[in-house]
Amino acid sequence: MKPEDHADNAEISHSYKASLHGKLRVSINNFVTVYDRYAALNKARVVCTTPQQKELMYIKLLRAYLSLLRRLN
């Protein structure tokens, strides 16, 4: 292997790492956003008084939870 080949590999490796780091940061930010929504809905759930409000909140919570699970996979 020539020294210049090694330099090319290092540059590709650095570029790949930077790309992977950026994708990971985006994934983590998306996960945190979805989790915050789930947590806010869970807090709001306690103020529901009617069965209709409770059912609507339960549906929203389930959707947020499923979205959270999708972010994990």
pLDDT reported for residue 11:
62
Tell me: the pLDDT tens digits for 14-56? 777 778 788 888 888 888 888 888 888 888 888 888 999 989 9
If one counts every other C-beta atom within 10 angstroms of the C-beta of residue 59, the result is 10
3-state SS record for 16-68: HHHHHHHHHHHHHHHHHHHHHHHHHHHHHHHHCCCHHHHHHHHHHHHHHHHHH
The pTM (predicted TM-score) of the whole model is 0.57
pLDDT reported for residue 30:
83
Number of domains composing the chain? 1
Q: How far apart are CA 69 and CA 73, in angstroms?
A: 7
Q: Is the pLDDT of residue 4 over 60?
A: no
Residue-number span of the structural domain to which 38 is assigned? 3-72
pLDDT reported for residue 46:
82
